[in-house]
Amino acid sequence: MRFEVLTIFPNIIKAYLSEGILKRAIERGVFEVDIINIRDFTTDKHRQVDDYPYGGGAGMVMKPEPIFRAMDHLKRDGKKRYVLLLSPSGRVFNQALAEEYAERFECLTLISGRYEGVDERVKTIVDDEVSIGDYVLTGGELPALVIIDAVARLLPGTVGDMMSVSEESFTSGILEYPQYTRPAEFRGLKVPEVLLSGNHEEIRRWRRKEALRKTLNRRPDLLEKIKLSDEDLRLIQEIREEENGPDQSSRRDISEGDT
């Protein structure tokens, strides 16, 4: 797979991709990243990429011409590409979109805007507008890197153990169970006994229960989107009883007939 990033800050993109798992995956040829400096596609003496907004108002707007020219340059290869504009008003990126991009596209082109925005006409040459969350950043470089990271780690060969990709939060639809490593006791804090037991079935059940507990407490909305098994429903009942005491609805009301 190939990612193309259009930016006026190529070093931000380079820096992140020159460390760790993504660097090694690029070296192994799992995917490639072409960084295109939008400023290289200006034609004026000052290499100007932004200008004042028509109608007035604060801030600067990125000019359309350098971005169109950079895209024309890329399109000369005649290859298919899916073009995203990073913007806080785009649709919100999530794991399902990361999976879709990893499966469907040979080339993903990411246009990172800066300043107060990008000239609206740029939207005529993009396939979708994507936001990484409901907050405003100073530019689209971090969002482009977030998307590259989330998509690239799904490509076979990026992450060593594909199990760690398929078992994790959001792939299964619920949050991840708590993880521990050695030592078994640290400053009086003990690793749960069951994890030291070697009983794989007990460990599996404990992990599922704790993943459900975390999801129930932090992100109950996620539980509405997945199909819960009979075991899940039993575990949730156990969690509720542990946290609130026995379910009142299943107990006979003392006032009901004992008098």
Out of 87, 109, 158, 215, which residue is the one contacting ligand ADE (CB under 6 A)? 87
Q: Residue 154 and residue 218: Cα distance in Å, rounded? A: 25
Q: Which stretch binds ligand ADE (CB under 6 A): 75-83, 85-93, 118-126, 154-162?
A: 85-93
Sheet hosting strand 107-112, strand order edge to edge: 32-37, 2-7, 107-112, 82-92, 128-131
92-131 binders of ligand ADE (CB under 6 A): 131
Q: Residue 87 and residue 167: Cα distance in Å, rounded? A: 30
**Tokens in use for 217?**
């407490």
- 133 Cβ contact partners less than 8 Å away, ≥ 6 residues apart: 92, 93
Which CB, 66 or 143, lies closer to ligand ADE?
Answer: 143
254 binds ligand ADE (CB under 6 A): no
143 binds ligand ADE (CB under 6 A): yes
Which CB, 7 or 215, lies closer to ligand ADE?
Answer: 7
10 binds ligand ADE (CB under 6 A): no
Q: How far is the CB of 142 from ligand ADE (least distance, A)?
A: 8
The DSSP code sequence of 66-78 is HHHHHHHHHHTT-
Out of 86, 145, 174, 211, which residue is the one contacting ligand ADE (CB under 6 A)? 86
Q: From residue 240, how far is each of 173, 192, 213 by CA, in Å?
A: 20, 20, 9
Size of interface with ligand ADE, in residues (CB under 6 A)? 11
Which positions touch ligand ADE (CB under 6 A)? 86-88, 131-133, 135-137, 140, 143
